[in-house]
Chains A and B, each alone.
With several copies, the nearest count.
Chain A
Amino acid sequence: MSLSKLNSLYREVILDHADHPHHKHALTNATTTMTVKNPTCGDVINLDIDLNEDDVITNIGFTGEGCTISQSSASMMSDAVLGKTKDEALKMAKTFSDMVMGKQHDQADLDELDDAAILSSIVSFPARIKCATLSWWALQRALLSNQQEESDGEA
Chain B
Amino acid sequence: MKTDISDLRGDFPILDQLVNDEPLTYLDNAATAQKPNQVVAALTHFYQTDNANVHRGVHTLAERATAAYEDARHKVTHFINAAEPAEVIFTKGATDSLNLIASTYGEANIEAGDEIVISIMEHHSNLIPWQQLALRKHATLKYIELTPTGELDMADAETKITDKTKIVAVAHASNVMGTVNPIAALTKMAHQHGAIMVCDGAQAVPHMPVDVQALDVDFYAFSGHKMMAPTGIGVLYGKRDLLAAMPPYQFGGEMINFVHRYESTWNELPWKFEAGTQNIAGAVGLGAAIDYLENLGMSNVQAHEQQLVNSLLPQLTADRQIEVYGPHDPARHTGVIAFNIKGLHPHDVATALDMEGVAVRAGHHCAQPLMETLGLVATARASLYIYNTQDDVDRLIHALNETKEFFSHELIKAE
Residues of A within 8 A of B (CB): 1-3, 5-6, 9-10, 15, 18-19, 37, 39-43, 65-69, 125-128, 131
Contacts and interface: CB of A to CB of B under 8 A. Distances in A.
Interface in B326-371: 344-348, 351-352, 355-357, 362-364, 371
B409 A42 contact: no
B355 A15 contact: no
A68 B67 CA distance: 24
B357 A67 contact: no
Interface string B58-73: 1100110011000000
A1 B401 CA distance: 12
Nearest to B254: A40
Contact of A6 (B352, B377, B409): B352
A43 B21 CA distance: 30
A84 to B, nearest CB: 29
B-side interface size class: 35 or more
Interface in B364-415: 364, 371, 377-378, 402-403, 405-407, 409-410, 413
Interface of B: 20-22, 55-59, 62-63, 66-67, 256-258, 267, 344-348, 351-352, 355-357, 362-364, 371, 377-378, 402-403, 405-407, 409-410, 413
Nearest to A68: B348
Contacts of A10: 348, 406-407
Residue among B21, B62, B257, B345 with the highest chain A CB neighbour number at 10 A: B345
Nearest to A37: B258
Contact of B345 (A6, A19, A41): A41
A18 B348 CA distance: 12
Contacts of A125: 351
A103 to B, nearest CB: 16
A41 B356 contact: no
Contacts of A3: 352, 355-356, 402-403, 405-406
B352 A39 contact: no
A67 B413 CA distance: 14
Interface of B is mostly: mixed
Given A3-B352, A39-B267, A125-B351, A68 B410 contact: yes
Nearest to B56: A40
Nearest to A43: B377
Contacts, number: 85
Contacts of B371: 42
A115 to B, nearest CB: 18
Nearest to B376: A42
Given A3-B356, A5-B355, A42-B371, A15 B345 contact: no
Nearest to A40: B363
B323 to A, nearest CB: 16
Contacts of B406: 3, 6, 10
Residue among A19, A42, A65 with the highest chain B CB neighbour number at 10 A: A42
A151 to B, nearest CB: 16
Contacts of A15: 407, 409-410
Residue among B58, B267, B347, B357 with the highest chain A CB neighbour number at 10 A: B347
B403 A127 contact: no
Given A126-B66, A127-B57, A41 B409 contact: no
Residue among B62, B344, B410 with the highest chain A CB neighbour number at 10 A: B410
A67 B22 CA distance: 24
Contact of B58 (A2, A6, A19, A127): A127
Contacts of B407: 10, 15, 68
29 contacts: A2-B20, A2-B21, A3-B355, A3-B403, A3-B406, A5-B20, A6-B352, A6-B355, A18-B410, A39-B256, A40-B55, A41-B345, A41-B362, A41-B363, A41-B377, A41-B378, A42-B377, A43-B377, A67-B348, A68-B410, A69-B347, A126-B66, A127-B58, A127-B62, A127-B63, A127-B66, A128-B58, A128-B347, A128-B351
Contacts of A37: 258
A66 B345 CA distance: 7
Contacts of A67: 345-348
Contacts of A9: 351
Nearest to A42: B377
A42 to B, nearest CB: 3
Contacts of A41: 345-347, 362-364, 377-378
A1 B402 contact: yes
Contacts of B344: 68
A131 B378 CA distance: 14
Given A9-B351, A41-B362, A127-B351, 9 more contacts: A2-B357, A6-B406, A10-B407, A39-B267, A41-B377, A66-B345, A67-B345, A67-B348, A68-B344
Contacts of B347: 41, 67, 69, 127-128, 131
Residue among B56, B256, B357, B377 with the highest chain A CB neighbour number at 10 A: B377
Contacts of A6: 351-352, 355, 406
Q: Which 4 A/B pairs are nearest by Cβ-Cβ distance?
A: A42-B377, A67-B345, A39-B257, A127-B58
B243 to A, nearest CB: 18
Contacts of A68: 344-345, 348, 407, 410
Nearest to B19: A2
